[in-house]
Amino acid sequence: MSLTLVWQDNNVATTMTALWGQFKTQVQGVLDLYTATGLPALVNAEFSSLFNDTENLIFDKMTGVENGLLTFGEGESSVSLPVNRSEAMKLLQKPVGYDALIAGIDALKERLKSGGYKYSVNQRVQLSINNISAGFIIDEGGELQYSTYVAGLIANYGKTFIKTAKAKAVHQFIKDVVQAYYDNGIDVIRGSGIPGGNGSMPELQGVIMSILYRLAPGFETGYMPTENLKKFDDFRLNSGDPESED
140 and 171 in a single domain? The answer is: no
Average pLDDT, the chain: 77
**Burial grade of 26 (CB within 10 A; 0-12, 13-18, 19 or more):** middle
133 and 180 in a single domain? The answer is: no
28 and 127 in a single domain? The answer is: yes
Which domain covers residue 193, as residue numbers? 164-245
68 falls within a domain: yes
35 and 151 in a single domain? The answer is: yes
26 falls within a domain: yes
Amino acid identity at 64:
G
Residue 63 to residue 152: CA distance in whole angstroms: 39
Q: Is the pLDDT of residue 179 over 80?
A: no
Strand order in the sheet with 243-245: 159-162, 3-8, 243-245
133 and 201 in a single domain? The answer is: no
**pLDDT, tens only, 52-98:** 999 989 988 988 777 666 666 676 766 666 777 777 778 888 999 99
Does the reported pTM lie above 0.85?
A: no
Task: Identify the pLDDT of residue 89.
Answer: 79
4 contacts 161 by C-beta, under 8 angstroms: yes
172 and 143 in a single domain? The answer is: no
237 falls within a domain: yes
Q: Once rounded to an integer, what is the mean pLDDT over residues 150-161?
A: 87
The total number of structural domains in the chain stands at: 2
25 and 140 in a single domain? The answer is: yes
Which sign does the torsion angle of CA 231, 236, 238, 243 carry? positive
Selection from 125, 126, 147, 152 nearest residue 135 by Cα = 147
3 falls within a domain: no
Last residue of a domain, one of 108, 132, 156: 156
152 and 170 in a single domain? The answer is: no
Higher pLDDT, 141 or 36: 36
